[in-house]
Amino acid sequence: MKRRLLDLGFQALALLILLLALGSLAALIADIWRDGASRLSWSFLTGFPSRRAADAGIFHALSGSVFVIVVTAALAVPIGVASAIYLEEYGTRSFFARIIEINITNLAAVPSIIYGLLGLGLFVRAMGMGRSVLAGASTLALLVLPVVILATREALRAVPPSIREGSYALGATKWQTVWFQVLPVALPGILTGMILALSRAIGETAPLISIGALTFVAFAPDSLWSPFTVLPIQIFNWVSRPQVEFQGNAAAGSLVLLALLLTMNAAAIWLRDRYQKKLS
């Protein structure tokens, strides 16, 4: 009887802990809603920074975020998918492939600010890109590459080997099999991985600060070479100011950022479901 009580007590404790965690999430959302909802408006979304908190907007940061993410995707997805195809379809069991695998697992756990220092030394300085959108996107692409590779490998592994066999038996080459049979089936998984990676990238602050994304930018970036800022950095900038008015802006910016993330994840789920319907 006593043991049963302990058991129940244990369960209750565990549930309590989980509720605490969930409650923290709720508190977080409630807090930024309370602080920032009133600042949300069309002029906030389309406005530029200003010394007066009430006039400040996030357009420069929002467009910077979108621009950087698009370029990041354009860099990370082809390279990541290609790497995963190599590791999964061509290089299995070779010594070199194993080294690459271990390396990727390691890279996935390196702090993001280290990637910022890499970007600073390599892209901004050595390759002369300056503090540009391209340097920022390249840095983020390296950061999310392991995520894309790992997700793509999972997706490729889930393709039944019988499909590959059927293709080879008809006289298809390896690349024909990969391109015409394996990739189409793996596509939903790859897309999901891509969105996961981009969700991570859009919330990243530290690496972009390191490569010199500006915190005082009053324009939307117009080319790969232009300086830029992103939404998380703008939020950081506002939250660092002592004036209380800017905190409301930071909260509102956070709400926009969270909404963006929610949309991206919803899009990922929708895309994946649509493709799975197509296949079955």
Applying the rule CB under 8 A, the residues between 197 and 216 that interact with other proteins are 199, 202-206, 209-210, 212, 215
Q: Which is nearer to other proteins, 63 or 247 (CB)?
A: 247
Q: Which two tokens stand for residue 139?
A: 């840095």
Helices 112-119 and 133-157 cross at an angle (nearest 10°) of: 130
Q: Which residue has the tokens 């299995």?
A: 92
Helices 244-279 and 183-202 cross at an angle (nearest 10°) of: 180
Q: Which is nearer to other proteins, 176 or 223 (CB)?
A: 176
Q: What contacts 84, CB < 8 A, 6 or more positions away?
A: 148, 149, 150, 152, 153, 156
Could you list the beta-strand ranges (E) of 193-233.
Answer: none
Q: How far apart are CA 229 and CA 57, in angstroms?
A: 13
Q: How far is the CB of 221 from other proteins (least distance, A)?
A: 19
Q: Which is nearer to other proteins, 47 or 184 (CB)?
A: 184
User: Do residues 194 and 73 make contact, with C-beta atoms less than 8 angstroms apart?
Assistant: yes
Q: How far apart are CA 209 and CA 204, in angstroms?
A: 9
Q: Which is nearer to other proteins, 132 or 247 (CB)?
A: 247
The footprint of other proteins on residues 5-24 (CB under 8 A) is 6-7, 10-11, 13-15, 17-18, 20-22, 24
Q: Among residues 176, 223, 243, 263, which is the contact residue for other proteins, using CB under 8 A?
A: 176
Q: How far is the CB of 40 from other proteins (least distance, A)?
A: 15
Q: Which stretch binds other proteins (CB under 8 A): 1-9, 43-51, 54-62, 219-227?
A: 1-9
Is residue 37 part of the contact set for other proteins (CB under 8 A)?
Answer: no
Is residue 32 part of the contact set for other proteins (CB under 8 A)?
Answer: yes
CA–CA–CA angle 180, 184, 185 (5° rounding): 120
Greatest CA separation for the chain: 72
Q: Which is nearer to other proteins, 100 or 224 (CB)?
A: 100
The footprint of other proteins on residues 97-156 (CB under 8 A) is 97, 99-100, 102-107, 109-118, 120-122, 125, 142, 145-146, 149
Q: Which is nearer to other proteins, 7 or 222 (CB)?
A: 7
How many residues form the binding site for other proteins (CB under 8 A)? 106
User: Do residues 176 and 167 make contact, with C-beta atoms less than 8 angstroms apart?
Assistant: yes
Q: How far is the CB of 225 from other proteins (least distance, A)?
A: 19
The footprint of other proteins on residues 217-276 (CB under 8 A) is 232-233, 235-236, 239-240, 247, 250-251, 254, 257-258, 261, 265
Q: Which is nearer to other proteins, 58 or 204 (CB)?
A: 204
Is residue 1 part of the contact set for other proteins (CB under 8 A)?
Answer: no
Q: What contacts 54, CB < 8 A, 6 or more positions away?
A: 245
User: Do residues 115 and 143 make contact, with C-beta atoms less than 8 angstroms apart?
Assistant: yes
